[in-house]
Amino acid sequence: MAGRDAVVAGLPELTATGRCLVMGVVNITPDSFSDGGEWFEPDAGVQHGLDLLAEGADILDVGGESTRPGAARVSEAEELQRVIPVIGRLAAAGAVVSVDTTRAAVAERAVAAGARIVNDVSGGLADPAMADAVASTGAAYVAMHWRGHADVMDDLETYDDVVVDVRAELGERLAALHDAGVAPEQIVLDPGLGFAKAGALNWPLLAHLDALHTLGRPVLVGASRKRFLGHLLATDAGEPAPPLARDDATAAISALAAHAGAWCVRVHAARASVDAVRVAAAWDAARTTQEKTFPGRDHVASPDHETEATP
């Protein structure tokens, strides 16, 4: 199954939940676009992760390197110093932890510390050793559509058809990962909203998640607080809404992505999206029941309304 109830390696408790999953973001960085380094200190990061769990998040995604537009890279040693203590403590608390990294060495150390998912925004392109690391650890692996690091990605926003091109490039990554020994059931795909897609091109990808489902693997959607939402919610004077003012729009996307069959949504504020995916699940369940009762009909006329007689 490629949709919501897909089996993903090493995550039995997150299979067949009947709804889209919610991944909460734990940024252990001083320069995140979304929170400005509020959770940079390890104790603060751990507490934030526990708070996200209390809000209903299914997965915690711990990252030590900002991927905001224009961000410079940090050293491998610095990234390890930031994330490993936090991952270890959250895993020990019972959380399903993901490590947000493009480095194979960080992925391996994170899995050893208790992470069960490697979330790689480069889809394995940033580090040639990543595929071997993922194959050897057996961890679940989120492969995102990516064309370059944060400092250059905005220069790479050139597409003939963004849906067709992103699907094709993710298909190439999927084939390359298979060839490198990564098992199909390990892989989750991510369209890479905001990465080499600064504005309007994100909307066609969201509206056509079904095109990505044809690749045969579940899809993760990471729209939370991103620039294109700031543009959507801009003031009359054209000033983009700040990141913290984008959470309601993020929750709306969570509901729509869940309805479209997304396996997981990645968000900074969990509670509203947890509610949103549950609403989508109830909506879909009711629609499925109605379609079984009245196959082939899009709706059933209310008894309070007259209908035309059948000729």
Of 89, 167, 266, 271, which residue is the catalytic one? 266
Instruction: Look up 292 and say whether it is catalytic.
Output: no
d(CA 270, CA 108): 27
Distance of CA 252 to the CA centre of its chain: 15
Residue 10, CA distances (Å) to 115, 140, 188 in order: 11, 7, 12
Catalytic status, residue 226 = yes
Cβ(187)–Cβ(217) below 8 Å: yes
Q: Are 155 and 198 in contact (CB under 8 A)?
A: no
Q: What token pair was written down for 169?
A: 């490039």
Catalytic pick from 19, 173, 225, 226? 226
Nearest to 263 by CA among 79, 107, 58: 58
Q: What is the distance in angstroms between the CA of the first residue and the CA of the last residue of the chain? A: 42
CA dist 298 and 290 (Å) reads 9
Q: Which residue has the tokens 């919501």?
A: 4
- What are the phi and psi torsion angles at 253 (to 5°)? -65, -35
Q: Strand locations in the chain, DSSP E?
A: 21-27, 59-63, 97-100, 117-120, 140-144, 187-190, 220-221, 264-267
At a CB cut-off of 8 Å and minimum separation 6, what does 288 contact? none
CA 25 to chain centre: 10
Kindly list the catalytic residues. Answer: 226, 266
